[in-house]
Each structure stands twice: as structure tokens, then as C-alpha cells.
Amino acid sequence: MKKKFEIRNFAVLVATSLLLFSCGQSSNKQHSSVDSTKCDSVSHKKVATVTQTKESQTSITPQKALEMLKEGNFRFTSNQVLKRDFKSQVHQTAEGQFPFAFVISCMDSRTSAVHVFDQGIGDIFEVRIAGNFSDDTEILGSMEYATQVAGAKLIVVMGHTHCGAAKGAADNVKLGNLSQLLTKLKPAVDASTNVKGEHNSHNSEYVDAIAHNNVINSIKAIKEKSKVVKELIANGKVLVVGAMYNLETGKVEFLETK
């Protein structure tokens, strides 16, 4: 009888350890800045319980904001995304929003920043447009609101591999209003002439180089055309970084910042 009891206790101990380990696994020390979480007893996944507040946003530095996105992408690629109580997050953010980052990315259905950075309601501003162009007045204005007015600490311009807009520019496609949009990629096309092989959409290395150079050009344009952002950068209040999202791996590679 006693032995049976001991075996049962041992089984409970093992099950409890596995449960803790499961949630513990997702808090890999190097990637665990999300501290407002608890463990879900059913899924054994970490649960994001709270949203960004004025206080939490104020405490986040631009560098920390970058780390938070890197950690989110690590969770995304390692299948450890946080379980979120969206109903509670909607309720908590009803009175105001305090996002820590602004991300502009392509409209491609596979490149949602909220997904690839594993973020919740009220965490990041997101602008999406084919080719992720950042130098339009409307987009620069949105960026200025996000940072100067709403307090976001980080601006990310995110391109991606196999981008349809880059392919269109590589083939010099003409189609209605799209032609005008694609002419904005011309400087990136011109900067990619050193890529080996044929210079059309069949050469993925060429297409990805165009997308990459477009991100670099966009960052330059932001710094040149937005006095507001330029000043925030100079004062150390905001960081602007480029990134490339890999459609095959789900990984975001951040470009070197200067």
C-alpha cells in the first residue's frame, strides 16, 4: 500500500516538474524580457497578462525595445509564442495606448510584424505598404506621431525575401498605379547592379538585394526628411533600424545601425 502511495507521489512530482519545465523552457534566459507573464495550466505555455502602460513604456530604452522585438522573433521561430488573453488586453487598452515600437513592413500577407515579433494588443504601431516605402509624407507623419506624441522608442523598417514589389521593380512591371509605386524602388534597383546572374525576378539573390537596398534607402530618407525623428535620434530617445524578414525561416535579421 505504502509503495503504491510512493509511486503515485513520484508520478505527481514528475508531472509537476514537466509542467514547470514546459513554461520554464519558454523563459530561456537570453530571451526572457517579458516578465508580465504567468503559466497556463492547460497549455503549459506562458501567458501575457498585462499590456504596455505609460510607466512601462517610459522605462523601455530604444535598445531595450530592440531586444524585446528580437526576443519576440525568437519565440516566433522557436514555436514558443505567448498565449494571450486578448479580451483582457482589449479591456486594458481601451483608455489609451503606449506602444514601444513602430514597424513599417510590406503588405505581404506573410510579414505581419505583430505575428513575427510575437506582440499583443497595444504593443507596437504597424504600417504596411507594398515595398515598405517610408518616405511618403503620410508615413513620415505617422512615424512622428508614434514617436514624438505617443512615445514609441524604436522605428523598424522591415523588408523581406522574395518580395513581390522588388520582383516587379526587377522586371520593370507597368500596371496602373502600381507603376508609380514601383518607380520608388528604382534607386534600390540601381544599387543592386553588382549582383551576379540575370537581373530579373528569376534571380532571388538580385530580388533580395533590391529589397535590402530599399530598406537602407528608406532609413536614409527617414533621417533626411523627418526633422522630428532626426532630433529624437540625436537626443537618444529613438533608434531607427532596418531589418529583413526571411520567408523560409520566419527569422528577422536586423541590419547594422550607424
Which residues of this chain interact with Zn ion, rule CB under 5 A?
Answer: 106, 108, 163, 165
Cβ-based nearer residue to Zn ion, 140 or 163:
163
Cβ-based nearer residue to Zn ion, 67 or 135:
135
Cβ-based nearer residue to Zn ion, 71 or 208:
208
Cβ-based nearer residue to Zn ion, 83 or 128:
128
Name the minimum Å distance from CB 120 to Zn ion. 24
Query: Side chain identity at 220, as an amino acid letter?
Result: K
Name the minimum Å distance from CB 231 to Zn ion. 31
Cβ-based nearer residue to Zn ion, 23 or 104:
104
Cβ-based nearer residue to Zn ion, 58 or 249:
249
The span from the CA of 115 to the CA of 214, in Å, is: 22
Cβ-based nearer residue to Zn ion, 8 or 110:
110
Name the minimum Å distance from CB 50 to Zn ion. 33
What order of strands is seen across the sheet that includes strand 83-84?
37-39, 46-48, 83-84
Name the minimum Å distance from CB 127 to Zn ion. 14
What order of strands is seen across the sheet that includes strand 101-105?
124-128, 101-105, 154-160, 239-245, 252-254
Instruction: Indicate the SS3 state at residue 84.
Output: strand
Instruction: Indicate the SS3 state at residue 117.
Output: coil
Three cell numbers, residue 181: 509605386
Name the minimum Å distance from CB 206 to Zn ion. 15
Name the minimum Å distance from CB 214 to Zn ion. 10
Going by C-alpha positions, the residue among 65, 88, 87 that lies closest to residue 232 is: 65
CA–centroid distance for 151 within its chain: 17
Contact (Cβ atoms closer than 8 angstroms) between residue 48 and residue 34: yes
Instruction: Indicate the SS3 state at residue 240.
Output: strand
Taking the CA atoms of the chain, what radius of gyration do you get in angstroms?
22
Instruction: Indicate the SS3 state at residue 95.
Output: coil
**Residues 6 or more apart whose Cβ sits within 8 Å of residue 48:** 34, 36, 37, 82, 83, 84, 85, 89, 120
